Each structure stands twice: as structure tokens, then as C-alpha cells.
Structure 1
Amino acid sequence: MSHDDDLRFAHVLADDADAQTLSRFRADQLVVDTKADSTPVTEADRAAEEAIRRTLGRARPRDGVLGEEFGTDGYHHRRWVIDPIDGTKNFVRGVPVWATLIALMVDDDVLAGVVSAPALNRRWWAARGAGAWTGRSLSSATRCQVSDAATLDTASLSYSDLAEWERHGLLPTFLDLTRACWRTRAYGDFWSYMLVAEGAVDVAVEPELELYDLAALVPIVEEAGGRFTDLTGGPAPQGSNALATNGRLHDEVLARLSSKPLTGLP
């Protein structure tokens, strides 16, 4: 099966998710629960993941699935990694910056990724060796390319949440990094990384992530010419945090962040 086929199928899965999420966005009677980790989950999160799993069960029954809401169905050589709504807090408050993240992994390698943000009327996608693209559909797309910013004092940095840096004992180190940059904004979640892929932002970084938060983002940034690792410089999908840059700035940012190791959560 070709990467083209996989990528087209990932768009079908994204269509399934969009139908569930967009119809519930800003709904008057949206059902919102609180998970064990104190984060919100909505009926839209669950419905989107269920829709994706139904399509996978029919069309790719031999592939595995790892989803944020319903977990993993065991080990598979090929598996789809799903975050039905990345940015659930935005979704709940009516902020349109949220997306469904869909990645195909073979063993530890991410071969394809789709990020669908229907409230923004945008998608981003990539398959290995085929470039990174953005637009409304496969037939209406422009190629993504990272920036050429070469120094931090000309760089724009995006992040999600200062509290996460504080929990890991890294807030002073992170603030030092922000002071070295030309501009800092918290675009947050998937959008930080898509802006890196588009060349609008030069550095995106987070200290605390799950595989389903980042798998789909990795090939999009890398196929746009960027670099994506964890905060130690290791392979991103195996880490629990993320650094994405235009490539030229990566080593300097890693060096600044490695001055104090992650402490881990209590």
C-alpha cells in the first residue's frame, strides 16, 4: 500500500471526524465531562474518535488504533494514532483553534499525518517524501516551507502553557529562552507546529505531551524542511515533550533548554 493511499485514507478519516466535531462546536447543550487528570472531554471528542474507529474497522481491520479517549487495541505493526480534538479547552469555550490529529505509524516511524481544523477551514498534511501541504483539500493546497530565520533575536517562538514548564521545574529556563527571541506568543497546541511548518513561526516547544498529541505533527514539520525532536534531541515520537524549529535554530534552542533536565511530575 502506497503512502498516497494512506494519506488519502487519512483525509477520509478526517472527514468523518469533522462531521462529528463541527456539528457540535458552540452547541447549546454540549456535554462536557472531567477526566481523571482534570482535563475536559466532550461528547464531540468521543464521537469523533468513535467515527474514526468505525471507518478503520471496516476499511483497515488489520491496522491498530491508539486514541486519546479509548486507548489502544494492542500491538500492531501498523497503527493509527488519533487525537479526536486537540485543543478541547478551546472547543469548550468556543475558540476555533482546535483540530483532529491523525497519524499513521509503522513500528516507531510516523509515515503520514493529517491535522484537520474545520472551524478554521484549514488542513495540513504530509507523507514521507511527498512534502507538507496546507489547504482545504487535497485538490486545493499549497506547499508548506519553514522559515529561514537564523538567529533567535529574529525568531518567533510559540508555546502552550507556562504552568507545564513550572511543573517540570523549567520555567526560569524557558523564560530565558523567550527573552532571547524576537517575539513570543502562545498560539498553543497543534497550531504552534503548523505555523512552524508554514514559516510563520520559527520555534514551537512544549514540555509535556502524549504520543497522540504529537505524532501527526512530526511529518508535517519535517516535510516542510524543519526539525522535530524531544527536548533532549531524541526522536520526537518516542519522547514525552517536543521541540520543532525551522532547523537552523534547533541546536541553539536545545542547548538553552538542556541547562536543566526535566524533573518529571510529582
Structure 2
Amino acid sequence: MNDLLTAVLLGIVEGVTEFLPVSSTGHLILASALLGYDEAHWRLFNIVIQLGAILAVVVLYWRTFWTVLLGLFRREAGPIRFVRNLLIAFVPAAVIGLALKKQIEALLLQPRVVAVALIVGGLAILVIERVVKPGTTRGIADVPARTALGVGFVQCLAMVPGVSRSGATILGALTLGVERRTAAEFSFFLAIPTMLGASVVELAGHHHELMAGQGAGLGAIAVGFIVSFIVALLVVRWFVGIVGRHGFAPFAWYRIVAGAAALFLLMR
């Protein structure tokens, strides 16, 4: 399979899975393991195309960001609390992620960890869906600071590949009393500083590869970026509608089936 076709395929995987509670990193790792991709060759590519998916959230919610920006200039309480909550939730991942960077990178080389995490995460979603009562907190600006901090610590679970950053933050927010739509949007917005920060750290650590032209070429990276952006645009809208009608159970069952199938294939 040539690099451009692989770039399209991985761009689709990233765009579909980045904001769903199914783990985009886990799917990219499994794609490398099961389809025979060279993980080292596509490592930098996988980092950059995450920014395409993040850009999709900025485009979809540009009115929200514009309103918040204007509110900050006017020193309005709502926009200030909005930004405060995102920063509070971002801090735990930034601190713990930098402290455990080497251990996290080691886990990225273990596709069986991803398969097991998919199954365990799916079971956790089913339990939370059944046990946790609907939350009442609506609007990111209205989320208490302690709840935002709790969501931030829960997000750190996603450092284990296969857990899912979006799944951890959404379900963590639900457990802490945030209603479904707000929990999903909190996860979308929190992805921006979290993934942007992670991408900057990784790019800084592998800038010599980019400058030397190692790994996937700039053409493949550009294709993957664009594909992940377009696919994420469609998926985010669809995801909010699905969650509103059916909850998170469909994604839980998908995780269990996908994880079991991956584990079976990897053990063979």
C-alpha cells in the first residue's frame, strides 16, 4: 500500500475516532500492528493529523470561541469561568504527562494493552450508563472548578492507549454531575489545549526527523491532516446527536467487540 493511500486511511481513522469514546491513539496503534505499518515511519504523521481533527472543533464551534474571546476583553464572568475551567482541567494532564512521558511512550508500543483497554473501557461505560444518574450542570461556564479539576484528573487515564481521552473526560464529567451535551462539549473543547500541548511536545522531540524528511513525507502528512479534518467535522455533529438519543452504550459494545477481535488477531 503506497504512502498516500495509507495517509487517507489513517486520516479517516483519526477523524472518526478522535472525539468518540473509542480511543483514536489505540486505533492508530492497532492499525499499525494488524495491517503491518511501520510505526516509526508513521509516528510523526500520527501526531500532526491530530491537529486536523482539533481544527474541526474550532471551525464547528467558532461562534462559541468568538463569544468567549469578546467576553474576555469585556471581563465578563461567564467567559472567564469558561476559560478557567478548561485551564484547570488541562493542568493535570500537562503535569503528569510530562512526568511520565517515557512510560507512556513505552505503552504506545504494546498493541495488546490497547485491546485489553478497549474491552475494559467498554464494560466501564456500560456500568456508568446504568449506575450514574443524569447530571444537572449545564454549560461549561457553570461547571464548578472542583468538577473541572476532577475531569482533568480522569483525563489522565487516557495516557494508557486504548482508554480514550474523550471517553474518560465525558464519562468522568457525567459521574461528577454534568449533563450529557455539556459533558461532550467539555471534552471537545478540552481536547484543544490537551492535544495541542501534546503535539507541540512530540514535534519538539522529533523535529530532527521532520527536518531530515524521515518518515511519511510532507505530502502524506498534508493529505492525512485534511482527511482527518473533514471526517472529524462530520463525526462531531453526528456524535452529539447519537449521544442525545441513545447514550454511550453503542460505543461501549463497539469497544468490547473491537477489543476482543484485536486481541484474538494479535494472539494469533
- TM-score, scaled to structure 1: 0.30
Task: Name the structure with the higher helix share.
Answer: 2
Task: Name the structure with the higher strand share.
Answer: 1
- TM-score, scaled to structure 2: 0.30
